Amino acid sequence: MRIAIGQIWQEQNTFSPMTTRLSDFEQNGLYFGEAILKQFSGSNELGGFIRAAEDEDDIKLLPTIRAFAWPKGIVKKKTYEKIKEEFMNHIKKSLPLDGILLSLHGSMVAEGVCDVEGELLETVRKDLSLDIPIAISLDLHANVTEKIVDNTVFIEAYHTCPHVDLFRTGYKTAKVFFSVLKKDIDPAPAYVKMPVITPVRLHNTNQGPLKKIFKLIEKIERKNDVISASFFPVQPWLDVPELGWSVAVYTRSDGAHAREYVEEISHLAWKSKDKFFTEETPPERAIEEARKMKRGLMVISDSDSTTSGAPGDNTCILNELITRKVNYPALLSLVDPEVVEKAIRAGAGNKITCEIGGKLDTMHCYPVKVTAKVKTITDGKFNLDGGHIGKLSIDMGKTVVLEAGSISILVSARSGPVYEQTVYKHAGLDPEQFRVVVVKSPVGFRKAYETVAKKIVLADCPGFSSSNLDLFTYNNIPRPLYPFDKVDNWKKIKTERRSNCPNSTKTGSKST
């Protein structure tokens, strides 16, 4: 059997001022055709597809495109069209096909297209008149839409956050899909959309409400008639018409059973929705608490999460550290290509005075003046060897380490995975030697830091991944939607759905 495979993966934050361009995909490596098989064998969802095909003796994979970009603002129209064109051309070249197997994120938004994944799937089927099955894997933060459901025979999502089961997800998606194509199983789907979004900081499958929901999913997946169950607590910073949580269940034959399981999962999820809100710590209190700590590491998660599409140059914590004249070792990162260039011109060992950060996120913060020694200069390239979001080759552009008193600042030309210790370690900094380390990640950082941190603080900083969803101006979401509206009986409500899409000139959150 001939199966086309591919990956088009980016998490959008439609409020972010940073639009996504082709260079954002190129930064992480755009791969086409056979190169995909060589590059991704053994890792991530594509590796799972490849391994599952190796288990069979009659599957030929036809690789199309792998386009991965770091979470950011809306995709430029031209960029999306280019990726779509490449994908479609590779599909056409691969014909005849028995099926298409894709790894998608599920929250992509391009200018004028607020459901990129749904549109891509529909286009493949309609424009190419391809009446063949399609199966996909998704991030659990996917915003699952009607188009996505209508154009697929099977969807499998990550069951973990931090996301550490990418290979498993890919492998299972492929295994089930191959069984469908061989007519060994005929999945009976059930799906529900729920009028809820919540902040992401408690989207942690190892504790709290999400742990309970995934325990139930595990229990349901152990039943003989169940192929798969997925819960999607969705990326909330999306101003799109079908925004909301989703549940999807596939059983072996009986759709009524699938609907019962969807009912059971969505019932527990609905009951748990308030538990996804937690009190956060004012940054000034965190900074003072760290002063009182005699030893150990405090990890501060701010609201400028680069894994949630925020720009990565928010100065909220830096400003507090400087204002409060801390004398303990503190480590943080900022995106600022101007300062990187200035530091490189000055050279390692020399001092510079600069206004740093606050140039991309001009809504929630300001540049902060620092005088600092240029300690290290790197090319910003390194590899992530697993952990949250799997194995990745990272290129943050030219990167420098500045030392301003006891504060070390990793300044990069582009944003990167500031949930991993490797981001700092590649520049010779050991996060565990600091009193405070700032991570730009709401949950994913826990994989790298939970076992070494004495204290984890969720800081209440304004930013493009703030947990305070009231800060954002949503114009296109369905109503009613919890937490913005009171929803008494979610199954009986009549949802009013907008038909507009956000565009890159109208993004932003309410200024604070």
Note the residues at the interface with Zn ion (CB under 5 A). Answer: 139, 141
- What whole-number distance in Å separates Cα of residue 309 and Cα of residue 213? 26
- In the complex, least distance from residue 42 CB atom to Zn ion, rounded to whole angstroms: 22
- Give me the half-sphere count of Cα atoms (radius 13 Å) on the Cβ side of residue 214: 17
How near is the Cβ of 194 to Zn ion at its closest, in Å?
17
Name the residue whose CB lies closest to Zn ion.
Answer: 141
- Shortest separation between residue 162's beta carbon and Zn ion, angstroms: 9
Asked if residues 116 and 136 have their Cβ atoms less than 8 Å apart, the reply is no
Q: Please report how close the Cβ of residue 428 comes to Zn ion at its closest, in angstroms.
A: 30
How near is the Cβ of 141 to Zn ion at its closest, in Å? 4
Structure tokens given for 147:
């188009």
Nearer to Zn ion, 139 or 336 (CB): 139
**3-state SS record for 115-144:** CHHHHHHHHHHHHCCCCCCEEEEECCCCCC
SS3 labels along 71-116: CECCECHHHHHHHHHHHHHHHHHHCCCCEEEEEECCCCCECCECCH
Query: Measured in whole angstroms, how far is the alpha carbon of residue 34 from the centre of its chain?
Result: 26
Residues 43 and 49 sit within 8 Å (Cβ to Cβ): no
Complex with Zn ion: residue 70 or 178, whichever CB lies closer: 70
Burial class (CB in 10 A: 0-12, 13-18, 19+), 376: middle
Q: How far is the CB of 420 from Zn ion (least distance, A)?
A: 15
Are 155 and 148 a contacting pair, CB within 8 Å? yes
The dihedral of CA 292, 293, 297, 299: what is its sign? negative
Specify the residue, 165 or 320, whose C-beta has the smaller distance to Zn ion: 165
Which is closer to Zn ion, CB of 6 or CB of 233?
233
| Sequence-ordered alpha helix ranges (H) in 294-391 | 316-323, 337-346
User: In this complex, which beta carbon is closest to Zn ion, that of residue 230 or of residue 319?
Assistant: 230
Report the residue number, 163 or 257, with the smaller CB distance to Zn ion: 163
Residue among 37, 90, 51, 258 nearest 174 (CA):
51
Strand 399-404 relative to strand 31-32, pairing: unpaired
CB of 139 to Zn ion, least distance (A): 4
The distance of closest approach from Cβ of residue 116 to Zn ion in the complex, given in angstroms and rounded to an integer, is 16
Q: Which is nearer to Zn ion, 205 or 399 (CB)?
A: 205
478 HSE (CA, 13 A, CB side):
21
HSE toward the beta carbon, residue 30, CA cutoff 13 A = 13
Where are the strands (E) in 329-398, listed by range?
330-335, 351-356, 368-378, 381-384, 392-395
Identify which of residues 139 and 304 has a Cβ nearer to Zn ion in the complex: 139
Based on CB atoms, which residue is closest to Zn ion, 408 or 466?
Answer: 466
Shortest approach of Zn ion to residue 63 CB, angstroms?
24
| Among 404, 409, 406, 459, residue whose Cα is nearest residue 435 | 406
